[in-house]
Amino acid sequence: MSENPADGAPTVRVTVTRQEPGQEPRDETFEVPYTDRTSVLDALDWIKDHVDPSLTFRWSCRMAVCGSCGVMVNGRPVLGCETFVSGYRTSGITVGPLAHAEVQRDLVVDTDGFLDRLRSLSPWLVPGGEAATQSAPAAGSSPQGADADADADAGADAVADAGSVQGADAHVGGAPAAPVGVPALDLLAVHSQTPGEVDAYRGFAQCIDCMLCYAACPVLDAVPGFVGPAAIATARRWDTDSRDGGDALRMAAMAENEEGIWPCAQIGACTRACPKGVDPARAIRDAQRIAMGG
């Protein structure tokens, strides 16, 4: 929603592939003024504000972190908010909805299908990982070290439980009546995890659910039900987290399913399309290797 390019500014030709529910797609072309800071999203906004208010697209953060604004620009999946039109001043731009997803209206595509696939791989912390836990000892007892280690094993399950919504929790009273006290700081429990252990999953944890990798993936042409790059990358994000114990569960969901990890032929289009450097191709390769016992 940043301000419009000034009047008299140069313009770029923007063709948008539009579609109403149940109708055929059609292309419409607009001349949009731009500066070197005008993004594809700004251009769409300009059209909506100045020419056709019914143009429909998603956006929110404008800073490439919310994952709303994925579109195809000249056939390539990109985030509209971080793609600048000045690079296309001679060629012109064609903006279309992300490939491999049902169009809901204009540039808005189905997201539920993606979230269902993501959910099918249990993308949350499953208790039982190997990371030890540390809790703060009560005031007056010895500082971090002996106590915490002694507690670690017993603590692991309790902690995992407390983290789960179903688990008992010092914070929540059983009765519906309100105020409950605050547990002392010495009840604070966290897993221990070194920076190196964080690095092991950090890359996969960068996924913003933008679905660009799905749009890029040629496998989805042949196997539309393929669980797909981002879902597998997120599954691997948890598998490679030292606090998580859900590997077997997720591997079963990915490997014992024809539309799980096997359709991938390691083309790498997902990794090239990803705006966050997630490398889903590596996640799938790792999962295939593990499933084959390697």
Task: List contacts with ligand SF4 (CB under 6 A).
Answer: 207-213, 229-230, 233, 273-274, 276, 278, 280
Cα separation, 55 vs 2, in Å, equals 17
Q: Which of 67, 127, 155, 245 binds ligand FES (CB under 6 A)?
A: 67
DSSP 218-271: THHHH-TT---HHHHHHHHHHHTSTT---HHHHHHHHHSSTTTTTT-----HHH
Q: Measured from the CB of residue 74, what is the shortest distance to ligand FES in angstroms?
A: 18
Count of C-beta atoms within a 10 Å radius of residue 48: 14
Give the CA angle between residues 59, 65, 68 to the nearest 5°.
30
Residues 6 or more apart whose CB falls under 8 angstroms from that of 143 comprise 137
The site for ligand FES, by CB under 6 A, has a size of: 12
Which of 219, 273 has the CB closer to other proteins? Answer: 273
- 279 lines the binding site for other proteins (CB under 8 A): no
Q: Measured from the CB of residue 209, what is the shortest distance to ligand SF4 in angstroms?
A: 5
Q: How many CA atoms lie within 13 A of 274 on its CB side?
A: 22
Q: Measured from the CB of residue 273, what is the shortest distance to other proteins in angstroms?
A: 17
Task: State both tokens at 7.
Answer: 């009047």
Q: Measured from the CB of residue 232, what is the shortest distance to ligand FES in angstroms?
A: 21
- 214 lines the binding site for other proteins (CB under 8 A): no
Q: Which of 66, 136, 200, 291 binds ligand FES (CB under 6 A)?
A: 66
Residue 274 binding result from ligand SF4, other proteins, ligand FES, none, given CB thresholds of 5 to 8 Å by partner type: ligand SF4
The beta-carbon contacts of 142-145 under 8 Å, at least 24 apart in sequence, are: none
Picking from 107, 47, 102, the residue whose alpha carbon sits closest to that of residue 71 is 107
SS3 58: coil
Which of 66, 290 has the CB closer to ligand FES? Answer: 66
How many residues in the chain? Answer: 294
SS3 34: coil
Which of 242, 271 has the CB closer to other proteins? Answer: 242
Q: Measured from the CB of residue 122, what is the shortest distance to ligand SF4 in angstroms?
A: 17
Which of 15, 104 has the CB closer to other proteins? Answer: 104
- 62 lines the binding site for other proteins (CB under 8 A): yes
Which of 16, 217 has the CB closer to ligand SF4? Answer: 217
Residues near ligand FES (CB under 6 A) are 59-62, 64-69, 79, 81
